[in-house]
Amino acid sequence: MRRLIARVVTAVLAALAVLTTGTPAHAAAPASPAVTFTNPIAEQRADPHIYKHTDGYYYFTATVPAYDKIVLRRATTLQGLSTAPETTIWTKHASGVMGAHIWAPEIHFIDGKWYVYFAAGSTSDQWAIRMYVLESSAANPLTGTWTEKGQIKTQWESFSLDSTTFVVGGVRYLAWAQRNPAENNNTSLFIAKMSNPWTISGTPAEISQPTLSWETVGYKVNEGPAVIQKNGKVFMSYSASATDSNYCLGLLTASASADLLDPASWSKSQQPVFKSNDATGQYGPGHNSFTVSEDGKSDILVYHDRNYKDISGDPLNDPNRRTRIQKLYWNADGTPNFGIPVADGATPVRFSSYNFPDRFIRHWEFRGKLEPNVTNLADSQFRVVTGLAGSGTVSLESANYPGYYLRHKNFEVWVEKNDGTTTFKNDASFNQRAGLADTAAGVSFESYNYPGRYIRHYDYLLYVQPADTTTAKADATFYAE
């Protein structure tokens, strides 16, 4: 019945469109089309920060394993950062402050100048970690001269790190992690207004401390704040627990019109929003930042992790945290959906329906379906890979079940594990075609072993069926996003 009602509504809307415009109605291509990357972006680079500047370049900095310098690279594409040459722009002091544990640099462009925020210890006490700022007025920060602006002073001389800056409502803020001497934990999150790019003003506000079970594994930690704004909200992700496989991301949320210095303005996710995933082989994802795609239409999550779970000794001495990127999606309610740290290699995409644009291809109990508001994001993500049958085909590999593919069985579409048989390979291979109902932006998938049959939805289930009517062509057309 719902299918019939939907078809009647669609037909009425189409008829109205023809009457008013003289052309058939069709779904608009998504505002945020698919973007794909190949991970990792950089080996042995932790705490990554990527800044997209108005000069057309992405600027990338991160912690190096020796903790002894600040490096910077740039490229006109995000993927290009993986092969871009790297420049050392600053080296630790030989003695005294800023002489040890050079951690978590971030680069920002503020009021016509470049600023790098970082944390550092001292040669006399490597754990006397404090926050510092560098400044450069050069157009190209890789070749410019950097001036030390000194320490960012807070209300205490205590362990402090991971400063980041952002603007809400025309006001510039600093957020950071610091040990509150009155608390029995390692670090909490603080926010303050700024009077200039290296000085906070007023009294800082503590907006989060590690109290939940997933924030206190190994160490009681809230650190690495990163801010993204959308839909009238300010979202602050942060990292929690020890820097091994327990490392994960939490999320704070506030209204952009609220008093951000009032701790009551912020609400905390009760579960991590991004964590280790055994299926994809990604462990300890954290210390993220956010950037945008080259066309500015997609938000991009930047983070580090390891591709193994067990670590010998102190995780800080393990050099193999890698920088990775993947698209950040948004739920229907306007909140960010981080999904899972996807497998190494090509990142997955989602496929929305041409004629039901709020619905996505997803698997549910391994059956291929079309559903809206898939908050378990990875159920609706597929990696487009070389077809198992070859011959120029593609296969659609599940993001959260690597090695499982969309395949047809009795012309029903399921997600099943590749058993290596010729039958499976043929059933799971498709010829990727221009969208049958939208050749410009859409995509359709024609069965490799049943030419003329396409993946299409019917009663919101997926089948491989002929697409020989206008309705069937619409049902067999999708948008990658």
Residues identified as active-site: 47, 223
Q: Please tell me the distance from the alpha carbon of residue 341 to that of residue 285, in angstroms, as a whole number.
A: 7
What is the H or E stretch that residue 37 is in? none
In angstroms, what is the C-alpha Rg of the chain?
Answer: 25
DSSP string computed for 40-103: -SBTT-EEEEEEE-TTS-EEEEEE-TT--EEEEEEESSTGGGGTS--EEEEE--SSSEEEEEEE
Residue 77 tokens, joined: 């594409």
For 13, 237, 429, the CA distances from 441, given in Å and listed in that order, are: 21, 33, 21
DSSP state of 32: S
Nearest to 250 by CA among 273, 227, 229: 273
CA 141 to chain CA mean position, Å: 25
Give 328's contacts (C-beta < 8 A, 6+ positions apart): 228, 290, 298, 299, 300, 301, 336, 337, 338
- Please give the single-letter amino acid code of residue 366: F
Closest-CA residue to 455 (of 388, 362, 330): 362
- Cα dihedral sign, 90-91-94-97: positive
- State the CB neighbour count (10 A cutoff) for residue 14: 16
Q: In what order do the strands lie in the sheet with 248-255?
A: 222-230, 233-240, 248-255, 267-268
Map tokens 């009238």 to a residue.
232
Place of tokens 């991009």: 300
Using the structure block, give the residue that is written with the tokens 């109605």: 25
DSSP for 202-218, written as a single string = EEEEEEE---SGGG-SS
